[in-house]
Amino acid sequence: MAGIENFIPELWEAAIQVPFEKALVYGQESVANRDYEGAIQQQGDTVHVTTIADPTIRTYDKTADLVIEDLDDDSTALLIDQGDYFAFRVNDIDKVQAAGDFQSPALARAAFGLRDKVDQYIAGLAYAGAYAANRLGRVAIVDAEPEYAGVGQTAAYNVLVKLREKLDDQSVPLEGRYVVVNPAFISALSYDKRFTDASASGSTETLRNGFVKQVQGFDVLVSNNVPTVGGVGADASDKVIVAGVPAAWSFANQLTETEVIRQEKRFANLVRGLNIYGAKVFEPKGLATATVSFAPPAVDES
């Protein structure tokens, strides 16, 4: 192995230029709740989440005794079955030649890489986990002003309206609703005055990664980790847009091992870390999805 040649000043700049990072969206508590995170210790752990059936609501009659019922409970498993690690070598000679400490920035980049992979994993769960009646299916979005949408096309804003309707139909709470979209969806929304004229009200702007503004009762969040449908079908490259509330799914994550080891046969340190995690949709009715594609207007803009 050649070592970390990128940090030798004679060949490269000594200072580390940290690149722009993708905002982590799906893994934040305001999108997927983190209620059970403290219960995990190692990969393969299972967190048993107990749910209670709804009480029966009865008509009161002052002349009759109350009907007392025993509520049924159920247990659902949140399996911590995912694990990622990093491991890299820091040679003493490289440390001497570098103008500054590059081990700490390297650790920061490794930590971000772990978190980003976790975010992509969580993003992929909603497509399969959302309630069947809450799936809009394929939607072709016009990448222009709404009035230029042709047959089979619609405006991005209209997708938000329909996702809201899906959640409303399931009596999903209004508080904490979000929708996670990709940058192309934001571009398509920006052609629409209903979106650009909307007020970004409330205090969530500083609390959520990727926050753009609030419309149709959603905090609109943008992420580069929005998944595609995949497979070999016509919709394989469609993006999966997810709307919902944090109570719909849970995510647990733990960086269980981080250590620096002095290598026996080299003048170097070995830095390594292990991250374990798992996620599960517990309330499918709290998620709504649409798979979207983007196309130029089907009608003449001139």
Least confident of 37-46, 50-59, 158-167, 237-246: 37-46
The class (CATH top level) of 5-9+18-123+252-281 is alpha beta
Determine the pLDDT at residue 138.
93
Q: How confident is the model at residue 17 (pLDDT cuts 50, 70, 90)?
A: very low
Higher-confidence position of 155 and 301: 155
Average per-residue pLDDT for the chain: 78
* pTM score above 0.85: no
Among the listed residues 217, 129, 130, the one whose alpha carbon sits nearest the alpha carbon of residue 173: 217
**Number of H helices and number of E strands within the chain?**
6, 11
Q: How confident is the model at residue 42 (pLDDT cuts 50, 70, 90)?
A: low
Asked if the model's pLDDT at residue 61 lies above 60, the reply is: yes
Determine the pLDDT at residue 291.
95
Q: The CATH number of 131-249+284-295 is which of 1.10.10, 3.30.70, 1.10.405, 3.30.1930?
A: 3.30.1930
Q: Which part of the chain is CATH 3.30.2400?
A: 5-9+18-123+252-281
Instruction: List Cβ neighbours of 241 (8 Å cut-off, separation of 6 or more).
Output: 159, 163, 179, 180, 181, 182, 185, 226, 289, 290, 291, 292
Higher-confidence position of 164 and 209: 164
